[in-house]
Amino acid sequence: MFWFWWWLLFVVIFLLLPLGYGWGYRGWGPPYYRRPGRPLTEAEAEEVRRQALAEEEAEAESWGMFALVLWVVFAVAVVWFLGALIAAA
């Protein structure tokens, strides 16, 4: 039964924690807040709007199978954890 705790530790450290690290840092999730040092020109503001629209379209399709695999791994870990709790009781 001790192996289960090692598996749970592995899941938390290598599968769940990197999600928080990548959020906004590696280009997926909301970016860090950046305040420009000067007001944007009209051309720069239009470019920012164009990039925001492109990112919204890309994000709608970006998770795909990765999200499915992530949810399946999470569901298996939860069922496994609950099974271990019930078996230990």
Which pLDDT tens digit goes with each residue over 39-81?
Answer: 888 998 899 899 888 888 776 666 677 777 888 899 999 999 9
Q: What is the pLDDT of residues 3-46, one digit of tens each?
A: 788 888 887 777 766 555 555 455 555 556 666 677 888 998 89
- For residue 24, the model assigns a pLDDT of 47
pTM above 0.85, yes or no: no
Domains in the chain, number: 1
Torsion (CA) 20, 76, 6, 82 in degrees, nearest 10: 110
Q: What is the mean pLDDT of the chain?
A: 77
Domain boundaries, position 25: 2-88
DSSP annotation of 40: P
Question: Are residues 28 and 22 in contact, defined by beta-carbon separation less than 8 angstroms?
Answer: yes
Q: How does DSSP assign 2-39, residue by residue?
A: HHHHHHHHHIIIIIIHHHHHHBTTSSBSSPPP---SSP
